[in-house]
Structure formats: C-alpha cells, structure tokens
C-alpha cells in the first residue's frame, strides 16, 4: 500500500469510550474490560488469530508511523481486530494463549504545559503499535503494564493513550502522562471505571506497589517543573499531567456523566464540571446485557439525542456513534477453563445498531467473511454486511432502527441461552474428551457467527423493502 493510501485511510481521529468493571460489580462474578473504537466507518476490521511461535518477528516496523522496536523471538498466540490495511497492526482487542486480555487504545491527551518539559516523540510508541508489541509477550495483566511501561520509557510516545489489561486474577489500566511517563492502577474489585478520551486518574501512592505502578519519578518530575506543589495537598495525577480544556466539557464530560448516571443513578454529578469519581459503585450488579446497553447510549429520548432529533450538530458527544469500527467486551470468568472462560464480545460498527457476538479464546478460526473487507463495500465481508444494515437504518432512524434493534436483541438473548447450553456440555466432556470439547466449541462459534451474517442479510432485504415502499409513497404522482 502506498503511503498516501495509508494516510488517507487514517484521516479521522481514533477516539473511544472505555468501561471497566471489577469482579464484585458484575452479576456473574466475571471481570470485564470493554471499549468502543470510534475511528472511521470506512475502515473495515479484519479478525485475526495468531499461533504461538518460537521464531516470531524480531522487529516491529510500523506501516503508518516511523516507530520501530525490537521484539522477543518467542511469542504467544493471540487474537486481534485489525484495520484492513494494517495487518498485524492496531490489533485493538483480544486474548493471548496465556489468557491475558488487552484493549488498546483509549486516546487521551497530556496538558500543553507538561509537554514543554517532556514532549511527545515523533518516532515513539503510537496507538497503531501498542497492542501487537505487548500482548504476545506477557503472561499476566501486571506483566502487560510492566512491559508497556518499559517501552514507553525507552522509546517515548507519539501520542497519549490509555490501555486495559485483564487476566484471571485482576485488571490493570495504564494512562500515559507525557512523552516518557505513565501511571497504572489496579482496578478495585468492588467498583467500575468509565472514561472517554481523557485521563481520569487522580490518586497515586508510590509505596503501594500492589495497586499502583508508574514511572519512578512521576511525582518528582511534576514537582520540579511546577506542575505539583506539595504545600497544596496530595498529588493529583490528572491536575499535574492531563489536558482539561473547553472541548472536554462537551466531548468528554457528558459521556462520563451519562454512563455513571446509567450505572449509579444516585451519584449527583454536575455535567459541566470534571468532579466525577474516578471509580464508582453501581446501584446493582452489572449484567452483560446492561453493559451492551451502555455502549449503545446516546442520551436516548432526551433533548441531546442526536439520532432521535436528526441533529448531527448535537454538542454532546454520544457513546455510540456511526464511525465506530467495533466495540468489544473482554470478559474473564476465572472459575471456567480458559477456552470458554475468556470471551470477547464484539459488535462490528456502531453498537447502537450492531449485534454483539461471542469470540471464545479457545476457537482456532472464524468464518472467512470475518477476515475480509477493505474501504469499499463488498458482499463477502462481515464488516460490510453489518455496516450496510446500519447505513440503511440511519437514513430514517426513528422509523427503520426499531426493526434492527428488535432483531438483534432477540438474537443476543437467544445466543446467551445457547452459550449456556454449550458451555454446560463443554464442561461435562472437556476433561475426558478434550478433542470433542474443542470441536463442540468451534462448531458453536462457526454457527453463531454465520447465523449473524444470515440475519444481517435478511435485515438488508427487509429495510430495502420498507425504503422502496416509502419512496413510492412519497413520489406517487398518481393522477388517474
């Protein structure tokens, strides 16, 4: 691919929403790291599966930035959701064969003041590289933080980002601070965390290594350059390092406000002020269905609902937007075998008009259509099948989307039930008939993913039928 083609494909910013849920906050005792990847609707996502290797790539060479770095020769296998034009790049979300999940990245921004003293590095680690240079080389969430922190300090960063890691014991989230500095916090089990394109961390206790990891001089650097004054109180990471400008009040604050209000109605936040709690407790244990609903949030049925009112100029930025390329929910259920205990629920495109499908860590392949798709619509691409349904729905949101939402809601509920039945059978036979259990899992995955494609095809035809009726009614020109 020519450089100009790559640049043209990346002409929109990658801006996301992240939701992390601790183990004691979920209805089933699982741990979840989830994020919508809001980028460019024209960039098809291709699903990738890589196997363990003793002789992997020894250097990462970015296709769309000047970043380069050495890689260990031995690499774990992993799953990824890559842009069609960046194979082995920008993997976005998945699990490796050690059962570690990673979500990369949430775009965040350092303050202009701190960048005067530790600026971004043009050929440093960028969002395109983070996933693929980290996930294949770690065996725990903590190791993910440690490896990525090392890479940040060694190479610097080309842009700011937040990264989530999850394994069968804990969740960690890392935020960059500036050119070569960072902070990571272990997710409290009894709380949840939401963020939208803005650094959220506040507290940092350098002696508490169990819950915090960071650059060695994080506080001292801020103090040295007048970004933090100990006489004014405890160190505040956000205040010292993060950007907080007028744009954030409409682009970022409303999403945090809306999601915390969704999960915790009793929290009295002021949408105009960045006083939102970093971690919060939900009113009740959060279900997978509720999490899907959260990623479909667009200030539904209020004056700020851009789709209800047909208002693309709405100042409050919704969670669910049309240019989302995929939304993923990385779920770990520690009590189950890794093959079925680690599941990535993915909705291609806009979550509000998409369907979440389970990608089990234990499968070895996906139907061919899920690995196809470019920046031109095609009938053989899963991405474009789902995207066509969304595009048709958006031509008359209030009339057409109820058809889509009803069909996908029913499909998700039926899939949830079929998953429970399959997993019961898997657990019954996995110890005595492991190969049969593997075949069962693979067959289930293939059936669900193919059934979703068939449903998307049927919805396309149903929507075209409705549109044809409507257009005929509008341009009837009958005079007889």
Cβ distance 38 to 15 under 8 Å? yes
N residues, the chain = 480
- 222 is written with which tokens? 């801020």
Beta strands in 84-149 (DSSP E): 93-95, 101-107
Beta strands in 336-437 (DSSP E): 342-348, 357-360
Gap between the Cα atoms of 425 and 243, Å rounded: 51
How many other β-carbons are positioned within 10 Å of the β-carbon of residue 415?
19
Cβ distance 171 to 164 under 8 Å? yes
Number of helices (H), then strands (E), in the chain: 12, 17
How many other β-carbons are positioned within 10 Å of the β-carbon of residue 32?
28
Give backbone dihedrals phi and psi of 271, rounded to 5 degrees, phi first: -60, -20
Gap between the Cα atoms of 299 and 255, Å rounded: 9
Nearest Cα to Cα of residue 139 among 198, 96, 174, 92: 96
Gap between the Cα atoms of 103 and 98, Å rounded: 15
Which residue is catalytic, options 16, 185, 342, 430?
A: 16
Gap between the Cα atoms of 183 and 176, Å rounded: 6
Residue 16 annotated to the active site: yes
By CB atoms closer than 10 A (0-12, 13-18, 19+), residue 375 is: middle
Cβ neighbours of residue 17 closer than 8 Å, sequence gap 6 or more: 35, 36, 38, 106, 194, 195, 196, 197, 255, 259, 295, 319
State how far Cα 389 lies from the chain centre.
21
> Which residues are known to be catalytic?
16
């Amino acid at each position: 691919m020519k450089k100009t083609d790559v640049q043209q494909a990346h002409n929109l910013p990658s801006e996301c929403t992240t939701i992390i849920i601790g183990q004691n906050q979920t209805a089933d005792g699982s741990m979840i790291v989830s994020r919508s990847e809001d980028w460019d609707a024209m960039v098809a996502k291709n699903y990738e599966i890589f196997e363990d290797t003793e002789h992997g790539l020894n250097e990462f060479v970015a296709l769309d930035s000047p970043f380069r770095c050495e890689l260990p020769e031995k690499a774990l296998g992993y799953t990824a959701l890559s842009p069609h034009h960046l194979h082995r790049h920008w993997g976005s979300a998945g699990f490796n064969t050690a059962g570690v999940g990673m979500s990369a990245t949430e775009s965040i921004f350092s303050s202009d003041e701190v960048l005067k003293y530790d600026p971004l590095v043009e050929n440093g680690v960028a969002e395109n590289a983070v996933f693929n240079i980290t996930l294949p080389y770690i065996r725990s969430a903590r190791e993910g933080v440690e490896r990525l922190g090392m890479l940040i300090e060694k190479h610097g960063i080309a842009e700011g980002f937040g990264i989530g890691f999850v394994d069968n014991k804990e969740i960690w989230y890392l935020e960059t601070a500036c050119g070569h500095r960072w902070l990571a916090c272990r997710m409290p089990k009894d709380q949840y965390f939401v963020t939208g394109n803005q650094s959220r961390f506040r507290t940092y206790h350098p002696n508490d290594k169990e819950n915090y990891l960071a650059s060695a001089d994080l506080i001292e650097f801020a103090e040295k350059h007048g970004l933090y004054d100990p006489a004014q109180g405890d160190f505040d990471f956000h205040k010292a390092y993060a950007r907080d400008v007028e744009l954030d009040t409409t682009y970022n604050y409303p999403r945090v406000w809306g999601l915390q209000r969704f999960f915790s109605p009793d929290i009295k936040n002021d949408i105009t002020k960045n006083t939102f709690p970093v971690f919060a407790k939900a009113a009740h244990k959060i279900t997978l269905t509720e999490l899907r609903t959260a990623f479909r949030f667009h200030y539904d049925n209020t004056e700020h609902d851009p789709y209800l009112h047909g208002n693309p100029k709405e100042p409050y930025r919704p969670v669910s937007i049309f240019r989302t390329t995929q939304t993923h929910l990385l779920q770990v259920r520690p009590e189950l075998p890794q093959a079925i205990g680690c599941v990535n629920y993915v909705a291609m495109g806009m979550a509000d008009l998409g369907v979440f499908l389970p990608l089990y860590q234990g499968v070895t392949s996906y139907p061919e259509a899920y690995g196809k798709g470019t920046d031109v619509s095609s009938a053989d691409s899963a991405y474009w099948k789902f995207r066509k349904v969304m595009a048709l729905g958006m031509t008359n949101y209030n009339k057409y989307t109820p058809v889509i939402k009803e069909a996908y809601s029913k499909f998700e509920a039926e899939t949830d039930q079929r998953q429970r039945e399959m997993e019961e059978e898997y657990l019954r036979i996995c110890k005595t008939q492991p190969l049969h259990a593997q075949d069962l899992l693979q067959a289930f995955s293939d059936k669900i993913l193919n059934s979703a494609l068939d449903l998307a095809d049927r919805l396309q035809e149903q929507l075209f039928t409705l549109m044809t009726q409507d257009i005929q009614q509008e341009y009837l020109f009958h005079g007889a």
